[in-house]
Structure formats: structure tokens, C-alpha cells
Amino acid sequence: MEMKRLILLLFSLVFIAGCQTGPNIDLEKVEALDGEGHRIVSTTVALTEMMDALDLDLIGKPSSYKNLPERYEEVMEVGNPMSPDMELILALQPKQLLSVTTLQYDLEPLFEKNGMEAYYADLKSVEHMLKEIETFGAMYGREQEAANVVAPFYTMIEEMEQKTASFEKPRVLILMGVPGSYLVATEHSYIGNLVKLAGGKNVIEGEDVEYVASNTEYLQHAEPDIILRAAHGMPDEVVEMFDREFQENDIWKHFKAVQDGRVYDLEERIFGMTASLAAEEALHTLHAMLYESEGRR
């Protein structure tokens, strides 16, 4: 249960709820922002960016400190992804409510209680994200737009595989942190998927979940060549936490990755909790960390 709460905290810290105007909504204004009448409410940043890439209007967007596409500047905020404002969403009268499978267990009872059915997009990996984009394209008559979005990703994945095929895969440890604590990301997490696509091998294998508790002695014996530290929600604080942990916990100095100076902090902007259109930049960044630092391309 503690593990689950920490994982949920990872999500909730990524998004900061903005001010909301309450349930009194000018539906005529809402309809004016929704030219084709799809009446879509997107509850995560990644989904909002995908809707923009498919040239789709929204009537509701997530509250976030991150910059959302300019076309949605006048669109109503509906709260953060972990705790959307149901009163506001109901007042918007959406035809389609979008969330992600990672949050489905917690949000589905809330949505059903309010008589709403949501579509939960699977964004646990780049490959799943591309399939979801194609699904949205078919759903909203944006097949060509979807094809234009996904094609470069499929090409990049193939090129990345060819580029790293002849090299021994570096062993990678991924730490996922929030202020005061951190978990270890498995191959089933989004960043774990990115590491695999970039040509790395996750030192944590045989797990069915996305994140597991940290056991530094076990992790040391796993002998990672590279340590990746992902900071979410309050990235500056988390980086400071990781720095203290690595300085004050003596065991870290025995890690080969630490001795070799191959500990990297991942930028939150492109390394989120779920797949997003920033995956292309993230993959190139990871490839540089895993290979180009040793002169291998």
C-alpha cells in the first residue's frame, strides 16, 4: 500500500492544480472553441499535446505548470490528472473524457460514480503511444494527421535498433524520485521502455510492476554501468535529495557507475511518467548518455 501511495504521489506532484472558475460555465463560449463538436476533455498534458498534433479542439484541459499548446489558451482547466474537478467536467458536458491507463484504477470509480465513461489511453511505452495516436486518428477522422505524427517515430525506433545492434548493451539503473524518497524503475515503466529502445539493459528484471522499492545492496550487486536519476514534481528538490543520498550513503561510492562518473539526471521536461511526443528528444538524449559518451554512435 505504501508503494502504491508513493507511485501515485509521483503522478500528482508532476501537476499543480491551477485556479478554477467553478461550475458556472458559458456553454456558448465552450462550443465556440470546439468547431467540430467533438467535445473532448483531456485530463493529462501528454494527451493534450497529442490532441494538438492531431489538430483537435478541446473543451477541457488539465491544470498544469507546464506550457500547453497555445491553441488551448482559452480552454477551461479541469484540475490535475490525479484529482480532476468532476463538478466542472460534468458542467462542460463532454462527449469524450480522456485519461491514461496508469490512473484508471483510481479514477474509474470516481468517473462511474458521476455517470461518466472515460477513454484510458495506454501510454506506458512509446509503441503503445503510437498505437493510441493511430486510434485517435481513426476515432476523429484524423487518419492522415496520425500517420504524419507516428511515421517519424517508427523510423527513429528502427534506426536506433540498427545503430546499437552491434554493441554490448550497457546495464542501466533507473531511480525515480520525489522529494524525500525514490523508487527503482523497471523495464515496464515508461523510462524503462525508453532505455530499452535506446539500446540499454535494465538491471531490474523479472518484475511485473513499473516500480519497486530500492535495496541499495542488491542494486550494487546488479553492477549498473549507468545510473539515471529522474526527478518529478519538484525537480530541483529531488536533484538535491539525490545529491545528498549519493554523498551521505556510503554504499553509492562503491557503484561502478558512480566511480566512472556515469550518473545522469534526466530533464523532467522530456522524461515524464508516461509516454509523450517528447519521446523522440528523450531517445536521442538517452542514446547519447548510453553510447556517445564512449565514442560509439
Per-residue pLDDT tens, the chain, 297 aa: give them: 555 555 555 555 544 434 444 466 767 666 666 678 899 999 999 999 999 999 999 999 999 988 999 999 999 999 999 999 999 999 999 999 999 999 999 999 999 999 999 999 999 999 999 999 999 999 999 999 999 999 999 999 999 999 999 999 999 999 999 888 999 999 999 999 999 999 999 999 889 999 999 998 889 889 999 999 998 778 889 999 999 999 999 999 999 999 999 999 999 989 998 999 999 999 999 999 999 655 444
CATH number at residue 252: 3.40.50.1980
Domain final position from 66, 97, 121: 121
31 and 108 in a single domain? The answer is yes
Q: What is the pLDDT of residue 20?
A: 42
Which cell goes with 197?
Answer: 529502445
Residue 143 resides in a domain: no
Residue 130 resides in a domain: no
Q: What is the pLDDT of residue 15?
A: 44
Beta-strand ranges (E) seen in 62-210 are 76-77, 96-100, 118-121, 171-178, 181-185, 201-202
Q: What is the pLDDT of residue 17?
A: 36
Domain final position from 89, 121, 153: 121
Domain final position from 60, 86, 121: 121
pTM for the predicted model, two decimal places: 0.86
Q: CA of 126: how far to CAs of 47, 99, 107, 243, in Å?
A: 13, 17, 23, 30
Q: What is the pLDDT of residue 281?
A: 96
Residue 160 resides in a domain: no
Residue 254 resides in a domain: yes
Residue 159 resides in a domain: no
How many domains is the chain built from?
2
Helix (DSSP H) and strand (DSSP E) numbers for the chain: 12, 11
Residue 135 resides in a domain: no
Q: What does DSSP say about strands 211-212 and 181-185: parallel, antiparallel, or unpaired?
A: antiparallel
Q: What is the pLDDT of residue 12?
A: 55
Residue 155 resides in a domain: no
Please give the residue range of the domain that contains residue 81: 2-121
For cell 528484471, name the residue.
205
Residue 82 resides in a domain: yes
